[in-house]
Structure 1
Amino acid sequence: MNRNDSISTGGGRMLKTIAYAAAVLGALTTSTLAEGLDELKPDVVERLYNKDMLDPAQPIGASKWRDFKAKKGPPWKIGYASSYAGNTWRAAAMNELQNEIVPEWKELGLLSELVVTQSNLNDSTQIQQIRQLVDQGVDAVILCCSNPTALNASVKYAAAKGVPVFSMTGYLTSEYAINSSVNYHVGGYEIGKAMVEQLGGKGNVLVVEGIPGTSGSDSQNRGVLAGLATSSDIKVVGSVAGMWTDQVAQGEVQKWLATNPGKLDGIVVQSAAEMGVLRAVQQAGRGDIPVAIGGELGALCYWRQNPNYINTSFQLWPPADDMALMWHVMMRTLQGQGPKVQSILVDPVKITFDDLKKLMNEDCSVDSAEWLKVGAKGWGYDPSYLDDFFLRPADPRAYKP
C-alpha cells in the first residue's frame, strides 16, 4: 500500500482514499486474535493478566498492529493529544516529553516534530483534535488518561489512515488502540491492603478517587475497594473525587471532614492529590490520620521527615516513566517490531522507608511539586522487560530503516 495512491482529484481521490482505508483496516483485522497472552512469559501473565486481578474491561487480546510498519520511514511526526494540563503529574509528563524525549529522539534522527494539543477534559474536543492531528499527517498519536470508550471512533479513523493511537496511563477499549500502564487493579489492591495492614485490620477509611469515568481512576478505585475488603472490620465511610489535583482534593476533603466529624482512621488517595489531602487533614487538626502516599515528592518528603507516619508507598503512575514507556512502545511499533497484545502492563512499585532514605535526604521540601522517577528498569521500558511484548524485538534507539 502506498498512501500517495490516494492523491488525485474529485471522485477518483475519494474512491482511492476509501480503498486505502479499507485495505489498512482489512490488513489489521487479519491478525490472529488467538495469539497474544500465550506468547508472553508465564510469570508476567500470572501477575498482571490474571482475570481475578484485572479490570474486566482492560483490552488484553492480540494487537491489531502485529504486522504493521509505518507507511514511511523516519524521522516521524508525532501527535500528543493531551486531555488535561492542570496538575503536577501532567506538568511532569510534559516536561519529560519536551525536555528529555524530544531532544534525544530528534538527535537519533527518528523524530521530526511533536505536535501537542490540549482538550481540558472535553471528550468532543479531544476527538476533534485527534482527527486533526491525523489529517495534518502525523505518523502516530499518543494520548493520556481518557474516557475508555468516547474516543474509539477517532481511533478507528486514525487506524484507517495507517496511524496507530497509543493510550498511556489508562486504556481505550478500541480494538485498534495500543495501551500501556501499570495494572491499576493490582496497584489499587496493594494500596488498599496496605491501609488495612496500617490500621491493624480495623477502622474507618475515606476514599479519594481520581477523575471518575477515566479508566485509570475507575480501575484503581475498584482495586482499592477490593484491597480494603480484605478485612471485614474496615469500613469505607465516604468517597470524594480529588480529580488528580492537589487543590481540588484539598477542598473536597476539607468539606468532607467539616461535615463528618466522626472517627476517621485512614485516607486512601489517588495521586496526584496526596499533598492536598495531607494539607486538608493538618488544617483540620487531624494530622495523625495516615494518608496513602504515591509519587509526589512533597508528600514523600513528609513521610521522610516523619518515619512512623506510614509503612509503605506504592508508585502507580510516575509521569516521566509513563511517558517514556509509551514512547518506547510507540517507536517499536512504528519500526515494525509488532506488539503482541493490546495492553502492555507493568507492576506497581513498592517503596519502604528504607528505600525512601536512599532516594531523598531529610532536608527535602514538602512544598516540592516534582515527582519521583522510577527509571527504565523499575517501570518496564528497559529492553529486558519490554522485549517480551514484541514479536521482533530490537533496540528502538538503534533503528536504521
Structure 2
Amino acid sequence: MITVAACTAAFSLVGLAASHAADPTAEEQAAALAAVPKEAQKYYGGYWYATNIVADPFANWKPHAPPWKICHNDSYLGNSWRANLVAELKALTKQLADQGLAEPELNVTNSNGDINLELTQLKAQIAQGCDLIMSYPGSATGLCAGIKEAFDKGILFVTIDSTVTCPEALNVATNPYYRGQYEGEWIAKQLGGKGTALIMNGQPGTANTVAQETGFRKAVEAFPDIKVAGSLFGMWTGSVAKTEVLKFLATHPEPVHAVFSTGNMGVGVGQAFEQSGRALPIITEVTNLCSLLAYWKEKNLTANTFVQDGGPMAYSAFIPALHMMAGQKPKVNTIFMPLPSITAENFNDYYDASMTVQSTCFANGKDLHLVPDSYFEQFFTGGEPRAKVEIVSTNAQPQ
C-alpha cells in the first residue's frame, strides 16, 4: 500500500532530479522553441520545469502496421480522473478495432505509485508485443530505460498530461507550469497581494507536480506579502487530501487564506477547513469535478478551475498518437495544449442543478473536446493524414 510519507520521500528525490538549477537564457529558450509552431509557443512558458523540447525526435522511426496492440501503462488508478482516462482509452481502442486497426482489448497496468514496478510493467508490455503504449507516468525520468527500449523496437510511447524528459517519448499535455503560474497570479489578485496560501499537490514525483508547484511559487514570489505556508500531497484524491489538510491545520493555527489544489481535491480541502472550524479559503483547482461545482454553489466559494477531465485528456493525447501511427512525424517531442477554464462568469455553462457534493462526474459542459482535433495538425509533417482514421470522443458526462 502506498503511503503519503513514502510519496513525500519519493518527491524529494525524483522532483529534484526533474527540476533545473537555473532557467535557460532567452536565447536558449528561443532555440528550444524554434521548432514549435508559432501559434502554440505561447503555451510553452516554463517548459523546462516539466520536460525538454527536442526537435524532429522521430525522424528515423516508423510505426508498426495495423492491427495494433494498444496498451496503457499507469502509475496510479485510485481516483475517478484516472478511471475516466482508462475508460476513454478502452472505448477508443474498440473504435479502432471495429475498423480492423487494433486488437479489441486495451492492455492496462497499474503500479500504484511504485516507479520501479511501473518500469517492470512497461518492459513486460514491450515483451507482450504492444505497438502503442499510452501512459500516465509516475516520474519524469524513471521510465526512460523502458521508453528507449520501446522506441528501438518501433513501439510508440505517448504520455498523457504528465511529461517525461526521455527524448524517445511523445508528450501530449497541458503545460503544468502555466497552470500553477495562472492560479498563483489569480490567488494573489484575489488576496490583494497579501495573505497565506497552501499548496495541495497530487502524486509526488510526476512532472505535473514538480512544474505546477514551481509555477505557483514563481508567481507568488512577485508578492512579498504572500506566504506559502506548506506543500502537501493528496494523491489527487479528495479523502486523502482531507486527511492531510486536517493534520496540517491541527499544527498550524495561523490563518490560511487560499489553497491551490492540483486536481480532484478541492471539496476534501474545503471540508477539512470546515471540520477544523476554520473559515473557507479561496480554492483553485485544475480539474472540474461536478462535486466541486456543487460545493462551490453551496458555499458561495471564491474559486476557479480548469476543464481537464481524464477522459477528454486521454482523447486529446490519442489524436497525436494516431497521427504518428499513420506515419506522420512530430516537429517536437512535447505538444502543449491550452485548456478551457470555469470562472464565476461562465459557471452556469458547466453547472447543473443535479450535481451534488457526492457526484463523481466531471463538469465538461457541452463540448467534450478540450481543443479541436485540428489544433494538433500544426505539429506534424509528412505521412498519411490522421483524418483517414475516424475516431470520436465517447466520454459522456453522467450526473
Match of 2:388 in 1: 398
Provide the secondary structure at the position in 2 that maps to 1:313: strand
Match of 1:344 in 2: 335
Number of aligned positions between the proteins:
359
Match of 1:368 in 2: 359
CA distance in 1: counterparts of 2:241 and 2:145, whole angstroms: 32
CA distance in 1: counterparts of 2:283 and 2:303, whole angstroms: 11
Q: Does 1:267 align with 2:270?
A: no
CA distance in 1: counterparts of 2:87 and 2:358, whole angstroms: 19
Match of 2:140 in 1: 148
Contact 1:208 1:270 in 2 (8 A): yes
Match of 2:248 in 1: 256
Note the 1:234-253 alignment, pairs <5 A.
Answer: 234-253=226-245
Match of 1:48, as an amino acid? Y
- CA pair 231-36 structure 1, distance change in 2 beyond 3 A: closer
Provide the secondary structure at the position in 2 that maps to 1:325: helix
CA distance in 2: counterparts of 1:145 and 1:195, whole angstroms: 29
Match of 2:376, as an amino acid? L
Q: Which of 350, 353, 364 matches 1:359?
A: 350
Please report how far the alpha carbon of residue 108 of structure 1 lies from its aligned counterpart in structure 2 after TM superposition.
2.9
- Residue identity over aligned pairs, in percent, reads 28
Contact 1:198 1:311 in 2 (8 A): no
TM-align CA RMSD: 2.3
Please report how far the alpha carbon of residue 377 of structure 1 lies from its aligned counterpart in structure 2 after TM superposition.
8.0
Please report how far the alpha carbon of residue 331 of structure 1 lies from its aligned counterpart in structure 2 after TM superposition.
1.4
- CA pair 158-302 structure 1, distance change in 2 beyond 3 A: same
Provide the secondary structure at the position in 1 that maps to 2:69: strand
Note the 1:51-70 alignment, pairs <5 A.
Answer: 53-70=46-63
Contact 2:163 2:207 in 1 (8 A): yes
- CA pair 299-357 structure 1, distance change in 2 beyond 3 A: same
Please report how far the alpha carbon of residue 363 of structure 1 lies from its aligned counterpart in structure 2 after TM superposition.
4.2
- CA pair 366-153 structure 1, distance change in 2 beyond 3 A: same
CA offsets 1:251-280 (integer angstroms, 9 cap, x no match): 000011111112221111110222211211
Note the 1:34-49 alignment, pairs <5 A.
Answer: 37-45=33-41, 47-49=42-44
CA distance in 1: counterparts of 2:261 and 2:283, whole angstroms: 7
CA offsets 1:362-393 (integer angstroms, 9 cap, x no match): 4421111222337878623x232110011137
- CA pair 97-378 structure 1, distance change in 2 beyond 3 A: closer
Please report how far the alpha carbon of residue 95 of structure 1 lies from its aligned counterpart in structure 2 after TM superposition.
2.1
- CA pair 296-66 structure 1, distance change in 2 beyond 3 A: farther
Match of 1:218, as an amino acid? V
CA distance in 1: counterparts of 2:313 and 2:366, whole angstroms: 10
- CA pair 59-368 structure 1, distance change in 2 beyond 3 A: same
Contact 2:326 2:383 in 1 (8 A): no
Contact 2:137 2:164 in 1 (8 A): no
Match of 1:134, as an amino acid? I
Q: Does 1:178 align with 2:170?
A: yes
- CA pair 69-375 structure 1, distance change in 2 beyond 3 A: farther
Please report how far the alpha carbon of residue 57 of structure 1 lies from its aligned counterpart in structure 2 after TM superposition.
4.9
Provide the secondary structure at the position in 2 that maps to 1:285: coil
Please report how far the alpha carbon of residue 222 of structure 1 lies from its aligned counterpart in structure 2 after TM superposition.
0.5
Match of 1:21 in 2: none
Q: Which of 162, 166, 170 matches 2:154?
A: 162
Match of 2:5 in 1: none
Structure 2 gap segments, 5+ residues each: 1-29, 391-399
TM-score norm. by structure 1 comes to 0.83
Match of 1:190 in 2: 182
CA distance in 2: counterparts of 1:267 and 1:128, whole angstroms: 36
Please report how far the alpha carbon of residue 110 of structure 1 lies from its aligned counterpart in structure 2 after TM superposition.
2.1
Provide the secondary structure at the position in 2 that maps to 1:69: coil
Contact 2:342 2:350 in 1 (8 A): no
